[in-house]
Structure 1
Amino acid sequence: MLPITEKAIRAAFVNASRKEVSDITLPTGFDALDWDALDYLGWRDPKIGRRAYAIVPDGDALVGLLFRQADGGTRTRPQCAWCQDVRLPNDVLFYSARRSGASGRNGNTVGTLVCADFQCSANVRNPPPPAYLGFDVEAARQERIVSLRQRAAAFARDVRGA
């Protein structure tokens, strides 16, 4: 992911009001992020409980998403819909995002299961275990990175209604 500025982040949101955008707290350590290790930028708001954000590249555009964490938990350990890591070292939460435009103003939302603190980029960069003799671990890791980018962008398009 290419480095982005605070101004670009605030301008990217497609499903947030101006007030919600002005209330955004940038992630801790924003100035020191390793942009080469990120496929999208996601973080939980430390000041507003159950609120999270993601900036997802979709082609040449950045799509900012405002999430709300679900109140209830799950009975079983879910799998992240974005990174699909089966060896998750972290929790997975259900987040909903209001659709953009008139649909969102009418209360329509879409939801997804995502790593609690948006660690998907780190998860897909971990080498997968070799599945068989001669398994190309690096090719599988690269495929996981590409798949994460595609799934995150597809969710962002769903929120935008595109």
Structure 2
Amino acid sequence: MRPLSQDEIRKSFVNCSKGEAKSLALPARFDEITWEVQDFLGWRDARARERAYLVVPRDDEIIGLSLRAAPGRRSGLKSNVCAFCTTVHSLTDIALFSARRAGAAGRQGNTVGTYLCAELACPLYMRGKKKPEMRQTRETLTEDERVTRMMGNVQSFVDQALREDV
């Protein structure tokens, strides 16, 4: 991902008001982001953990989505899989994130949701920069193939959020 300015990030959001985008909390240590290992930028708001943000390169533009993390629930499951990067995590390291749809559909209250790495660190897992605590199934895919699969999953989620015909 190419380096983005704070202004570019704020202007990229398509499912919240300009005022909300202007006041959102950017990632901690923004100036230290290693852009070359970021296929997309995702972060949780340090002051309000239920808020999260996703910024994705898409064709020649950048799309930003404001997300909400559901509160953790008790479950009989011991683990779950991130829908973006397919990393297996304990339930404490997975969260259900929802995004209000863009445009009229979002104003009507329509959302899309999926289970993701709680810290939205998928690119770091795919590139081996961060290790999950749970044992992973061995894959024969190369790093590039895993990243391509992940970005296909990310783009699919963004497509759903951008759909207004719901």
TM band (smaller chain):
0.7 to 0.9
Cα distance in 2 for partners of 1:101, 1:129 equals: 39
1:125 deviates by 1.3
Report what 1:107 is aligned to.
109
* Pair 107,32 (structure 1): closer, same or farther in 2 beyond 3 Å: same
* Residue in structure 1 matched with residue 84 of structure 2 by the alignment: 82
Q: Distance in 1 between matches of 2:11 and 2:82?
A: 27
Offset from partner CA, 1:47-76 (integer Å, 9 cap, x none): 233000010111111110000111242512
Show the counterpart of 1:5.
5
What's the TM-score, normalizing by structure 2?
Answer: 0.85
Q: 1:157 and 2:140 equivalent?
A: no
Q: TM-score, normalised by structure 1?
A: 0.87
Call closer, same or farther: CA 1:33–1:161 in 2, change over 3 Å: same
**Contact 2:39–2:151 (CA<8 Å) still a contact in 1?**
yes
Instruction: Specify every segment of 5 or more residues in structure 1 that has no aligned partner in the other structure, as ranges.
Output: none
Deviates more, 1:3-12 or 1:17-26: 17-26
Q: Secondary structure at 2:97's aligned position in 1?
A: strand
Find the aligned partners of 1:62 and 1:40 in 2 and give their Cα distance: 10
Q: Aligned pairs, how many? A: 155
Identity of aligned residues (%): 37
- 1:21 matched to which residue of 2? 21
User: SS of the residue aligned with 1:78?
Assistant: strand
- Matched with 1:145 is 147
Q: Secondary structure at the match of 1:157?
A: helix
Q: What CA distance in whole angstroms lies between the structure 1 residues aligned with 2:20 and 2:8?
A: 15
Structure 1 runs (4+) deviating above 3 angstroms are 127-131
Aligned counterpart, 1:96: 98
Query: Once the two structures are superposed, what CA deviation does each residue of 1:96-143 show, in whole Å capped at 9, x if it has no partner?
Result: 000000000000000011111111001111398766xxx6xxx52211
Q: Secondary structure at the match of 1:121?
A: helix
Structure 2 equivalent of residue 37 of structure 1 = 37
Q: CA RMSD in A?
A: 2.1
